[in-house]
Structure 1
Amino acid sequence: MAVTIKDVAKEANVSPSTVSRVLADNPKISDETKDRVNKAVIKLKYYPNAIARSLAHNSTKILGLIIPGEAENFDKNFFFIKLMTGISVASRDRDYNIMYSFGNNEKDELTCIKKFTNSKLVDGIILLTSRNDDKCIKYLKDISYPFVVVGRPEQSEEVTWVDNDNSDAMYRVVKSFIKKGRRKIAFIGGPKDLNVSIDRFEGFKNAMIDNYMEIKDQWVINSAAFDETEGYRAMLKILEYNTPDAVITTDDLLAIGVLNAIKRCEIEDKISIVGFNNTPMAVYQSPSLSSVEINAYDLGYNASKLLLDQLSNNKANKHSHYIVRATLIERESSK
């Protein structure tokens, strides 16, 4: 039979209501009483009923995490694994749990959010994508529900968010290619409506313009998804026009698709390639893939931390943001 709060109260020689206050860390309870109750909890291996505690304290101690559909392919997309690890560690440190939900598109994600918010299942929500005219962000703002976004939102001053400086990271990658004498540089991005795609292309464009380099429309492609197949198709389309001497992609999976395409054409020694996210697969490619380390763990950890600060009524952190440093890791594909 499960241990109850009454069993703990009896063991500690206090009332059940006192046990409840100790578990809630009520400052009015003496240290001596807290110590006695906590020892009884450990001795009896008592676990508070999460549902009962949520009713009593108007808090579920759960965060809702909305995962984009492409993240379901966990065997390849290590970005989301690192991100969720950071989220989980920060949440655990504050005694919170995570509830996951997948959405294959923006409409699905919004449906998941409404289920979370209408049922009061979670105290706050973490979004892993940010779009132009983002309906999920608008909905959460309209109902004043606590949330944080991994990715720069369109109206960043009104939302709590975490991201890299994607424009600057891409700018630095282009500059590194130009310093090595690359002049014909192609760009393969992800879905156009994602702000990460917009920001990274902005960095590419600014670096090319600042260094008096020509941007060829035929060498700029936005893919429908961040995967190998899209990268492969995009590279073949670029090669129909001409052969660049460098290709920058906005994701390692796209870059791996590019590598496969140029191997098929037997020109891998003529084109330098860089991806983003520095996934574990990058080092095992042939040639090994250069990639931008975006520190996904830190993105997740700080997203969770900012949301939990919101929930603890830390007004100083409301509508704040945190920028995580990105670093180019050079390997064989860009030398």
Structure 2
Amino acid sequence: MAITISDVAQEAGVSISTVSKVLNGWTTISPATKERVQAAIQKLNYTPNARAVNFARQNTMNIVFLTALTQNEAYKNPHMFDIMCGVQNALAETSYSMTLVDTSQENHPGETVTRVISQKCADAIVVHGSAISEETAELLIKEKYPHIVIGHPSFSNQLCWIDTNHTLAGEFAAEHMISCGYTDTSFIGGKRTDTISVQRQKGFLGLMHKYGYQVSEDHILYTDSSIAESFQAALSLLESSHRPRAIICENNMIALGVSKAIEKSGLRVPEDIAFLTFDVYPYSAIIDPKPTVIDINMYDMGRQAGMMILHKLAHPDLQIQSFTTLPLLIQGETTQIIRSSPVSSSSHQL
């Protein structure tokens, strides 16, 4: 039969509430009483119920990771899992656990956050960008609930958030192309409403303009990020009278379509046409030849989010709004230096 807190109280000759106070570190209990209670705990080999102790302390030692989990989410949103693993890694160094909570079945925006807050099942929430809405943001701010949002929300807000600087990643891509001598470069992105794609395109165009290279409108293409649509977009570029010397692919799926279009056109990479993509994961490993990549370490970003939420718990008034995790160029076989240029790959000021 399991030993209970009542057994410890009886053995020590004190009340149950006194044992509870000793377990929770109350300073109002005399040293002699603490010793009797500790002796009873050791004698009976009593193990306190962690949940009961946390309840008495008014915390759960649990962090909720809030995200949308629809079917095939691993393929549609692969970076989320790297981020989630990074958060868990940071929490694993403490006594905190993490609970994954899905928002995809909500009847109305914000109901999941309302439930988490009202049930007091977590001390804080890490919100993935797929789960943030204006209603959720309003609840978190109104309740002053400890949180960190992964990804800069697209609406005006007072939330705590971290993000990677996708505009800077676009600049890195443009800088690499110029340093190789590819000044006639095209950009194939996602939808016009895709925030990350828009930011990467903005960085690319901005740096090209800075060095005096104009990118024609017919070299900026938008797709639904599918292989099929990216293939057709790239094919139209490659068969045009003004074929670009290089292509920047906003994500791996687009890069797959571009790679297939280049193969169909019978062009050599990188001799006839060069290209690069963003993000190592999930498809760059199956693209042949091995692509040059502008990568963002999403695991590190998740780890930083985990550390920030712990910092936020220790300092509730702390406001966090920052970009983190710098892009990294990984040289592959799809770009090469063809002539000198006014910018070198090491010139970017970080």
Which residue number corresponds to residue 344 of structure 2?
none
**Between Structure 1 and Structure 2, whose CA radius of gyration is higher?**
2
**Distance of 2:12 and 2:190 partners within structure 1:** 59
Which residue number corresponds to residue 128 of structure 1?
128
* Residue 245 (1) aligns with residue 245 (2): yes
For 1:87-117, what per-residue CA distance to the aligned partner results, in whole angstroms no more than 9, with x for missing partners?
Answer: 0111222322222234559987644334433
Which residue number corresponds to residue 331 of structure 2?
330
Which residue number corresponds to residue 271 of structure 1?
273
**Distance of 1:106 and 1:213 partners within structure 2:** 47
Map 1:193-272 → 2, pairs under 5 A: 193-224=193-224, 228=227, 231-236=230-235, 238-239=237-238, 241=240, 243-267=243-267, 269=269, 270-272=272-274
Q: Give, as a single letter, the amino acid of the residue that structure 2 aligns with 1:304.
A: G
**Residues 44 and 309 (structure 1), Cα distance of their counterparts in 2 relative to 1, 3 Å cut:** same
**Distance of 1:203 and 1:322 partners within structure 2:** 15
Structure 2 segments unaligned to the other structure (5+ residues): 337-350
* Residue 287 (1) aligns with residue 289 (2): yes
Equivalent pair of 1:131/1:193 in contact (CA under 8 Å): no
For 1:204-245, what per-residue CA distance to the aligned partner results, in whole angstroms no more than 9, with x for missing partners?
Answer: 1211211222223333234445x5455445434544655332
Report the Cα offset of residue 288 of structure 1.
1.1
Equivalent pair of 2:149/2:160 in contact (CA under 8 Å): yes
Which residue number corresponds to residue 311 of structure 2?
309
**Distance of 1:8 and 1:220 partners within structure 2:** 73
**Distance of 1:11 and 1:229 partners within structure 2:** 74
Q: More deviation in 65-74 or 172-181?
A: 65-74
Report the secondary structure of 2:276's partner residue. Answer: strand
**Distance of 1:149 and 1:233 partners within structure 2:** 36
**Distance of 1:156 and 1:68 partners within structure 2:** 22
The number of equivalent residue pairs is 332
Aligned-residue CA RMSD in angstroms? 4.1
Report the Cα offset of residue 2 of structure 1.
5.0
Which residue number corresponds to residue 58 of structure 2?
58
**Distance of 1:313 and 1:329 partners within structure 2:** 38
Report the Cα offset of residue 327 of structure 1.
0.9
Report the Cα offset of residue 328 of structure 1.
1.0
Provide the TM-score with structure 1 as the length reference: 0.78
**Distance of 2:12 and 2:276 partners within structure 1:** 62
Equivalent pair of 1:102/1:109 in contact (CA under 8 Å): no
**Distance of 1:38 and 1:167 partners within structure 2:** 61
Structure 1 segments unaligned to the other structure (5+ residues): none
Q: More deviation in 288-297 or 59-68?
A: 59-68
**Distance of 1:255 and 1:78 partners within structure 2:** 16
Which residue number corresponds to residue 167 of structure 1?
167
Equivalent pair of 1:87/1:304 in contact (CA under 8 Å): yes
Report the secondary structure of 2:256's partner residue. Answer: helix
Report the secondary structure of 1:333's partner residue. Answer: coil
Equivalent pair of 1:63/1:99 in contact (CA under 8 Å): yes
Q: More deviation in 70-79 or 281-290?
A: 70-79
Q: More deviation in 321-330 or 194-203?
A: 194-203
% identical aligned pairs: 25
**Distance of 1:12 and 1:245 partners within structure 2:** 82
Equivalent pair of 1:175/1:207 in contact (CA under 8 Å): yes
Report the secondary structure of 1:183's partner residue. Answer: coil
**Distance of 1:108 and 1:13 partners within structure 2:** 53
**Residues 314 and 213 (structure 1), Cα distance of their counterparts in 2 relative to 1, 3 Å cut:** same
Provide the TM-score with structure 2 as the length reference: 0.75
Equivalent pair of 2:172/2:327 in contact (CA under 8 Å): no
**Distance of 2:111 and 2:96 partners within structure 1:** 23
